[in-house]
Amino acid sequence: MNEVQWNRLTAAELRALAARDAVVLLPVGATEQHGPHLPTGVDDFLASEVCRRAAALASEHTGVVVAPPIPIGLSEHHMPFGGTISLTLPTFHALLRDICRSVVRAGFSRILIVNGHGGNMTALHALTTELTVELATPIAFASYFGAGRDVVRDTLEAQDGLMHACEGETSMMMALSPELIRTEHLDEAHGPRITLPAESTDPVYMAVTFDRITASGVAGDARGASPAKGERLLAGCARALADALVRDPWAKEDAMTRSSR
């Protein structure tokens, strides 16, 4: 398998990939509490793993590079639990701008920000538009669990989509890094069901810290998690993301640009 990780490639190899118009995947996660049983890096680990798998699949059809991940996102709502590192929105924007600007200056024109944290979603929708204008480059955005929503829904038994430190995230961590799971705390790993803010149908939004939603730090129920479910989720989300890359969403943008001239 060809190497796909930016920081494991040489500058010459990256120049060659840029010349081939390779896609750059930029994983964006978070470092925040994930209940009593999971490490704080879950969102970073899972977004990065899905990107690596998707790149390996899509590289049969197009050049793909996985940029070093951004492991910290917008996690203010988890701060009361401790163990959380969060950025402010202006810092998040500036960090994404500088990384994407560097990628463009390295010769790449197709960038897909791949998100692994529900709390980043609303901001990333807006920032994708801002970055596209600022950098004069069509930046794209996807949450890996949104791209793979069908396999998520069909795999999980206690919920239809990812929540937080739940059946889905716990299953994927069981498949990816089982040594990081505190199995002695799995019986405590459950809480109320939630809807991600970006997917909510409530008519009014108000900021609520996560400790007001769940005392355990968990939303959903991790007790039904399994490595088999986790492997199916990782593989399915990676395949969905790879399929999206092969369909080339930037081609539509190019066609629209040409037609407007």
pLDDT tens sequence across 196-237: 877 788 889 888 999 999 999 999 999 999 999 999 999 999
Q: 170 lies in a domain? A: no
Give Rg (Cα) of the chain: 18
Q: Cβ(256)–Cβ(231) under 8 Å?
A: no
- Tens digits of residue pLDDT in 136-164: 999 999 999 999 999 999 999 999 999 99
Q: Give domain status of residue 71, yes or no.
A: yes
Residue 118 lies in a domain: yes
Q: Considering the domain boundaries, does residue 193 fall inside one?
A: no
To 10 degrees, what angle do helices 167-176 and 227-247 make?
90
Judged by DSSP in three states, 19 sits in: helix
Would the pLDDT of 255 be above 60?
Answer: no
- Checking if the pLDDT of 69 tops 50, the result is yes
CATH number, domain with residue 59: 3.40.50.10310
Question: pLDDT tens digits for 179-202?
Answer: 999 999 999 999 999 988 777 888
Domain contains 10: yes
Within a domain: 1 = no
The verdict on residue 215 lying in a domain is: no
Flag whether pLDDT at 261 surpasses 70: no
* Residue 15 belongs to a domain: yes
Question: How many distinct structural domains can be found in the chain?
Answer: 1
* pTM beyond 0.85, yes or no: yes
**Residue written as token pair 């929503």:** 149
Range of the structural domain that residue 10 is part of: 6-157+232-248
Beta strand 23-28 with 110-115 is parallel
